[in-house]
């Protein structure tokens, strides 16, 4: 997946089969995870004459995409011990065709996202399922025929980014649309370094 403006650095995702020897962590019944939507839309790439009004109502819509619930556990990669994050930032990205755009006669794909911030009181977190509604602020000549013969010019889902904040560190994990299937019925154990790469192991959840 092409890295979006949500990302500062590309990440390496290492997926492994969870060994039966890995200890699971039971949660108490009174644990409460909190996730709040803090932003939804696009940020101006650069101000220029006749920029689309991204603060206004969108004018074109793509196919909605349902991102599954995330069941996460956090470990310090260097010690192997459970880690309680300060904040978990979840970015649900999409692309939209922006026109006009400097140095791109037919417009260019720009980034937009829903941003959710989550907190937990222990080393585990459940992020609720989320429906991404891709939308854009340009619908004109370059979104229609014949420019759409090479592919739809409607806004489109572009993946998820997890940024885990703890102790002055904030490693990031990029999850493509294809990789989301691994999270649907599994708990993801994230082994967190101070930066990257984040190592991920999956354990099937009991139904």
The model's pLDDT over 181-193, given as tens digits with 9 standing for 90+, comes to 999 999 999 999 9
The model's pLDDT over 92-116, given as tens digits with 9 standing for 90+, comes to 999 999 998 888 999 999 999 999 9
What is the mean predicted confidence (pLDDT) over 135-139? 96
Write down the pLDDT at residue 6: 35
Query: Does residue 154 sit within a domain?
Result: yes
- The model's confidence at residue 12, banded by pLDDT at 50, 70 and 90, is very low
Which residues of the chain form beta strands (DSSP E)? 14-17, 34-42, 60-61, 65-67, 70-76, 87-98, 108-119, 124-127, 130-132, 135-136, 156-165, 172-175, 186-192, 199-204
The model's pLDDT over 21-51, given as tens digits with 9 standing for 90+, comes to 223 334 544 456 899 999 999 987 666 777 8
Query: Does residue 60 sit within a domain?
Result: yes
pLDDT exceeds cutoff 50 at 19: no
pTM over 0.75: yes
What is the mean predicted confidence (pLDDT) over 155-172? 97
What is the mean predicted confidence (pLDDT) over 162-179? 97
Cβ–Cβ contacts within 10 Å for residue 112, how many?
A: 27
Residue appearing with tokens 């970015």: 91
Query: Does residue 35 sit within a domain?
Result: no
DSSP letter for 22, please. S
pLDDT exceeds cutoff 50 at 4: no
Query: Does residue 27 sit within a domain?
Result: no
Classify residue 21 by burial, with Cβ atoms within 10 Å: 0-12, 13-18, 19+. exposed
Query: Does residue 3 sit within a domain?
Result: no
- The model's confidence at residue 173, banded by pLDDT at 50, 70 and 90, is very high
Domain range for 193 is 14-22+45-204
Query: Does residue 190 sit within a domain?
Result: yes
- The model's confidence at residue 166, banded by pLDDT at 50, 70 and 90, is very high
What is the mean predicted confidence (pLDDT) over 117-123? 96
Tally of domains in the chain: 1
For the chain, the first-to-last Cα distance in angstroms comes to 31
Query: Does residue 108 sit within a domain?
Result: yes
Write down the pLDDT at residue 143: 97
Query: Does residue 36 sit within a domain?
Result: no
- The model's confidence at residue 196, banded by pLDDT at 50, 70 and 90, is confident
């Amino acid at each position: 997946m092409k890295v979006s403006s949500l990302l500062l650095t590309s990440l390496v995702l290492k997926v492994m089969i969870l060994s039966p020897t890995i200890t699971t962590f039971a949660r108490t019944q009174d644990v409460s995870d909190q996730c709040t939507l803090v932003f939804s839309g696009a940020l101006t790439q650069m101000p220029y004459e006749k920029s689309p009004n991204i603060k206004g109502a969108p004018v074109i819509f793509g196919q909605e995409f349902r991102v599954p619930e995330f069941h996460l556990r956090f470990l310090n990669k260097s010690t192997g011990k459970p880690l309680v994050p300060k904040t978990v930032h979840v970015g649900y990205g999409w692309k939209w065709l922006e026109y006009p755009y400097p140095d791109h006669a037919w417009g260019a794909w720009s980034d937009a996202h829903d941003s959710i911030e989550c907190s937990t009181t222990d080393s585990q977190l459940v992020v609720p399922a989320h429906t991404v509604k891709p939308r854009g602020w340009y619908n004109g000549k370059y979104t229609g025929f014949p420019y759409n013969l090479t592919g739809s010019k409607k806004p489109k889902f572009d993946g998820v980014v997890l940024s885990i904040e703890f102790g002055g560190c904030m490693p990031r994990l990029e999850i493509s649309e294809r990789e989301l299937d691994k999270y649907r019925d599994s708990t993801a154990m994230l082994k967190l370094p101070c930066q990257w790469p984040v190592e991920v192991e999956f354990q099937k959840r009991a139904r």
